[in-house]
Amino acid sequence: MTALAEAFDQDTIHRIERLGIQSDWNCLEIGSGVGTIAHWLATQCPHGEVIATDLDTSLIPEEGRPSNLQVITHDVTVDAFPEGSFNLICSRFVFEHLIDRDAMLAKVVRWLAPGGWLLLEDTGPFPFDSSPNPLYRRVSKAIMAVATKRMGSDYEWSRSFPAQLRANGLIHTGVHASSHGVGGTPMGRAWRLTAEHIAADLDEQFGITAADLATFANQVEDPSFDDLCIASVAAWGQRPTLREYLKTLKPPTRVPQGN
């Protein structure tokens, strides 16, 4: 997970900066993993509180943890926060794994304060379809298929961003996708580790042999190998303030006066 964070943290940070992060914001990161984004949020919001949640918080280091960063074990599908608590809620590569992701999104939107922002980032597998490297394309698509089968993940969910956010009443919505090269990069390392972790399934379900996997590993660790990996598809949107909400209401219809 560290390699994944290394590959995508700059994208996430850039996206949050563009939302206009303020020093007094209260922020929530759902499914923090190794906690690097929550840690960064805490340094950006010294006058606010930052909460990092995960099912397993053991990967978030205690050493050097800012005093305004609280780390809690929390299952977004079961546990809750009070309505209107946060100026920013972000979550990366988590919602795609939740079985009832649409209902979870509706629940999480209610935790936003009026004017608060939601930033969701989930996987887009589309860079693989057009890969010019047959083995890389085959192994990469097999990785996505195994992960889908193992965890019930939906990697197509992000393809219709940000409609899901608008459907939940968020405004000023936007969408952006980024993808990184694999040749000798943190993304390449993360992708190799993922493949090695599920090597038995790749072999059993897709006939990807140890020799195939070794070639794949050499490719993604080779700085002269050019290809793209998964995209991070980001959607953001803002909970309307009362003023903005009133603007969305239709003007009252005038009842014609009888003569």
Ligand X SMILES: C[S@@+](CC[C@H](N)C(=O)[O-])C[C@H]1O[C@@H](n2cnc3c(N)ncnc32)[C@H](O)[C@@H]1O
* Cβ atoms of 173 and 162 closer than 8 Å: yes
Is residue 198 close enough to count as binding ligand X by CB under 6 A? Answer: no
Q: Which is nearer to ligand X, 185 or 212 (CB)?
A: 185
Q: Is the omega angle on the peptide bond into residue 256 within 30 degrees of 0, that is, cis?
A: no
Q: How far is the CB of 178 from ligand X (least distance, A)?
A: 13
Identify the CA nearest to 180 among candidates 2, 1, 3. Answer: 3
Reduced to 3 DSSP states, what percent helix, strand and coil does the chain have, rounded to the nearest 5? 40, 20, 40
The only residue of 53, 194, 219, 238 in contact with ligand X, by rule CB under 6 A: 53
Q: How far is the CB of 7 from ligand X (least distance, A)?
A: 9
Is residue 54 close enough to count as binding ligand X by CB under 6 A? Answer: yes
For residue 5, the surrounding DSSP H or E stretch is helix 2-18
Gap between the terminal Cα atoms of the chain: 74
Is residue 125 close enough to count as binding ligand X by CB under 6 A? Answer: no
For β-strands 228-238 and 112-124, DSSP reports them as antiparallel
Q: Which residue has the tokens 């560290």?
A: 2
Q: Which is nearer to ligand X, 4 or 208 (CB)?
A: 4
Q: How far is the CB of 54 from ligand X (least distance, A)?
A: 5
The only residue of 3, 11, 28, 31 in contact with ligand X, by rule CB under 6 A: 31
Is residue 190 close enough to count as binding ligand X by CB under 6 A? Answer: no
Q: How far is CA 35 from the centre of its chain?
A: 13
Is residue 5 close enough to count as binding ligand X by CB under 6 A? Answer: yes
Q: How far is the CB of 132 from ligand X (least distance, A)?
A: 27
Q: How far is the CB of 8 from ligand X (least distance, A)?
A: 6
Residues lying near ligand X in the complex (CB under 6 A) are found at 1, 4-5, 30-33, 53-56, 75-77, 92-94, 97-98
